[in-house]
Amino acid sequence: MVTIADVARHAGVSISTVSYVLSGKRSISADTERKVRDSIHDLGYQPNAGARALASSKSNVLALVVPLRSDMNLPVLMQFATGVVTAARAHEHDVLLLTQDEGVAGLRRVAGTALTDAIIVMDVEQRDPRIDVLRRLHQPSVLIGVPEEPSGLACVDLDFAAAGGECVDHLCDLGHRSLGFIGAPTPVYERGTSFARRTLAGFQSAAERRGVAAASVACDPSYAGVRDALAELRAKTPDLTGVIVHNEDALAPLLDIVQAEGSAIPDDLSIVAICPDQHAQNLPVPVSAVTIPTEEIARNAVEMVMHALDSGMDAEVRLLSPELHIRASSGPAPVSAPREANAASPDTDQARP
Amino acid sequence: MVTIADVARHAGVSISTVSYVLSGKRSISADTERKVRDSIHDLGYQPNAGARALASSKSNVLALVVPLRSDMNLPVLMQFATGVVTAARAHEHDVLLLTQDEGVAGLRRVAGTALTDAIIVMDVEQRDPRIDVLRRLHQPSVLIGVPEEPSGLACVDLDFAAAGGECVDHLCDLGHRSLGFIGAPTPVYERGTSFARRTLAGFQSAAERRGVAAASVACDPSYAGVRDALAELRAKTPDLTGVIVHNEDALAPLLDIVQAEGSAIPDDLSIVAICPDQHAQNLPVPVSAVTIPTEEIARNAVEMVMHALDSGMDAEVRLLSPELHIRASSGPAPVSAPREANAASPDTDQARP
DNA sequence: TTGAAAGCGCTAACAG
DNA sequence: CTGTTAGCGCTTTCAA
């Protein structure tokens, strides 16, 4: 193994000079710097991470806590994770993977042993048992998501309430007067998952503000689940003309079901989603959607962590503004309510073009 | 921060005694051990990871390289990752996340700086540029997947060739004489992804051995993609009665499409999949499937790494035997070819019950 | 602009 | 069975 002493000897300088060339923490003559860099290159020197961590009290590693529940949306999760890794690498940091099942003990372990410098937690719930621990930890942390009581914590997320509102406004502006909301599976709400509840709340208050009829349902991401959800919405608001979907997995089945029953999108039914842009684009009908800017959220999380690391933590809650991309799935409300009989007699009408 | 010296002082013993209590590397009197453990507990001592790594030349961290391509199957990926973390934790190790886009440089970096003790690589391709680097690295590594030339490397995977064969045998035993194979998206084969090719080869040679008609298609995981794939298979083998699916995302659409055209599963068409068991179970029709034992593969990978770490690396290729779980989607072949006209006139027959 | 040297907290000989 | 101590490779004063 090549050590810093080998480099120093090879370059004919002291150990500290090599160290300072690497860290840039004091000025070095151009000549010395060149000699040192050449030696580093010639010898293939790579500084030892453990020694560095011990001497500097910085591991240059971030912990990332990912949920492993299967009802979470995997693609979104994956995008967050790779976004965090990429952003961390841009700041010379690596990422240690913690699964949620180690729970609070995992947080205490990595912080207590100084394995990591800071912690990023995904999929935060409204009343999350981990946030108390995080507050007490002598290590900065950033949550992706916003708990009920975020005081003293740094959080980033999409402004899901505004996102829900923006979808409502878009549909209302198109003349829709009766809206439905297809949400995540029931357990997600029962757990109090922050983003799911905030979106729903945003939908409801915007609908109220605009004075339109509105109903919402949780939705299992299976065909049957989506069929049931749509039927339930129609039962609650018989002249439904616009649906907002905050459930990626429900989107493809929904389009298929609507098409199979002979309804046209957006002529009979407008659909707006809240999901990653790429997913909305690649459906059979390109779907109008509020983007979930996973990569941007991840980058923000890492930047907040980096800031906390060298300027002290501040308990900012950063909510990114939603951006609606209008595509083919949303259009003007039909002139007359298109399917008054539908909720009552689902089996008529099948032969429609 | 509490150090080992604090613990030693508090317990009235030497530093090394504390260290040996922790490592178990020499015998300690029951009395001393109790005193030390009490002090550790009272002071809340946690050993410093950097100091440990420096002194012992072991970081107790494994690198895990995950692919970030979106055409990879996310649930499977996630299961591997959590499986590796869980298994690693059971061996007192943590997991550092590397994304594939850092490529070979990431491997060199973590090994060169001694950030990690060993490397686990997922999604290995047949001729993977990383394997040469891994061979040269002074750090053990295990591949999940098998490259074309695995000599000198440790690999674990499901025996995908045998899995393909087992599906063929199952269908042939049920009297099917004309089989189709719906595979991964085209790019997966073009990249030379190891498991995809091995499965296909296993399918083909088994079909030949059993003397049955066989055709295969790559398949995009969209509705249209699956529709096309099925049509292509039927064009190639007009009296198709059994389909083997090695493409998780195609499964749900396939069931839906087959049902929509009025065919019964398994009466008209038998379906067998190669995918994680949980996924096969939760479809509208429970699907007969060869399990992809992600958790077991992950555990094996970690165990091989651990073995390499304390007994030296051996270049074993460990292929796990496939296990077929028979469910409702596969049954005896229909007595007469059920839909001779189908490939030619897809629009007839729609009114069938 | 550079060098010498004192730790950082722990492991593992070595000595008893 | 236990204690003393020399490093591990680096960062960062302190001194020049």
Give B207→chain A minimum CA distance, Å.
34
Residues 6+ apart with CB under 8 A from B171: B179, B242, B244, B270, B272, B330, B333
User: Does residue B32 approach strand C to less than 7 Å at its CB?
Assistant: no
Query: Could you say which of A50, A70, A224 has the minimum Cβ distance to residue B50?
Result: A50
Q: What is the pLDDT of residue A235?
A: 96
Query: Could you say which of B49, B97, B260 has the minimum Cβ distance to residue A114?
Result: B49
Q: What is the pLDDT of residue A352?
A: 32
Residues 6+ apart with CB under 8 A from A335: none
Q: Which nucleotides in chain C lie less than 7 Å from some protein C-beta?
A: 1-5, 7-13
Question: Are A277 and A291 contacting, i.e. CB atoms less than 8 angstroms apart?
Answer: yes
The tens digit of pLDDT for each residue in A140-196 reads 999 999 988 888 899 999 999 999 999 999 999 999 999 999 999 999 898 888 889
- The CATH 3.40.50.2300 domain(s) of chain B lie at 61-158+294-320, 160-287
Q: What is the pLDDT of residue B217?
A: 97
Q: What is the pLDDT of residue A340?
A: 40
Residues 6+ apart with CB under 8 A from B259: B265, B284
pLDDT at A348 over 80: no
CATH topology of domain A61-158+294-320: Rossmann fold (3.40.50)
Q: What is the pLDDT of residue B284?
A: 81
> Does CATH place domain B4-47 in 1.10.260.40?
yes
| Contact between B53 and A52 using a beta-carbon 8 Å cutoff | no
The tens digit of pLDDT for each residue in A281-298 reads 888 899 999 999 999 999
Spatial separation of the C-alpha atoms in residues A95 and B7, rounded to whole Å: 31
Please report, rounded to a whole number, the percentage of residues in chain B having pLDDT higher than 70. Answer: 94
Give A103→chain B minimum CA distance, Å.
12
Chains A–B, number of C-beta pairs less than 8 Å apart: 115
Longest dimension (CA), chain A: 90
Question: Are B298 and B336 contacting, i.e. CB atoms less than 8 angstroms apart?
Answer: no
- The CATH 1.10.260.40 domain(s) of chain B lie at 4-47
Query: Could you say which of B53, B77, B260 has the minimum Cβ distance to residue A50?
Result: B53
Of residues A119 and B260, more confidently modeled: A119
Closest nucleotide (C1' vs CA) to B2 is C9
**Interior CA angle at A147 toward A144 and A153, to 5°?**
70
Q: What is the pLDDT of residue A61?
A: 98
Q: What is the pLDDT of residue B314?
A: 81
- The residue type found at B206 is A
A229 by Cβ neighbours in 10 Å (0-12 / 13-18 / 19+) ranks as: buried
Spatial separation of the C-alpha atoms in residues A290 and B50, rounded to whole Å: 44
| Contact between A54 and B59 using a beta-carbon 8 Å cutoff | no
The footprint of strand D (CB < 7 Å) covers: A 1, 3-5, 15-16, 19-20, 22-23, 25, 45, 47-48, 51-52, 54-56; B 12-17, 20, 26-29, 31-33, 51, 54-55
Query: Could you say which of A59, A74, A252 has the minimum Cβ distance to residue B78?
Result: A74
- At B312, the pLDDT band (50, 70, 90 cuts) reads confident
**What are the chain A neighbours of B70 within 8 Å (beta carbons)?**
75, 278
| Contact between B99 and A109 using a beta-carbon 8 Å cutoff | no
- CA of B119 and C1' of C15: distance in angstroms? 39
Q: What is the pLDDT of residue A221?
A: 80
CA nearest neighbour of A71 among A157, A160, A181, A188: A188
A152-161, A197-206, B107-116, B275-284: range with lowest mean pLDDT? B275-284
Closest nucleotide (C1' vs CA) to A5 is D9
| Contact between A53 and B52 using a beta-carbon 8 Å cutoff | no
CATH of A160-287 among 3.30.1740.10, 3.10.450.50, 3.40.50.2300, 3.20.20.140: 3.40.50.2300
- At B69, the pLDDT band (50, 70, 90 cuts) reads low
Of residues B303 and A351, more confidently modeled: B303
- At A351, the pLDDT band (50, 70, 90 cuts) reads very low
B214 has which bridge partners? B179
The tens digit of pLDDT for each residue in B8-44 reads 999 999 999 999 999 999 999 999 999 999 999 999 9
Closest nucleotide (C1' vs CA) to A1 is D9
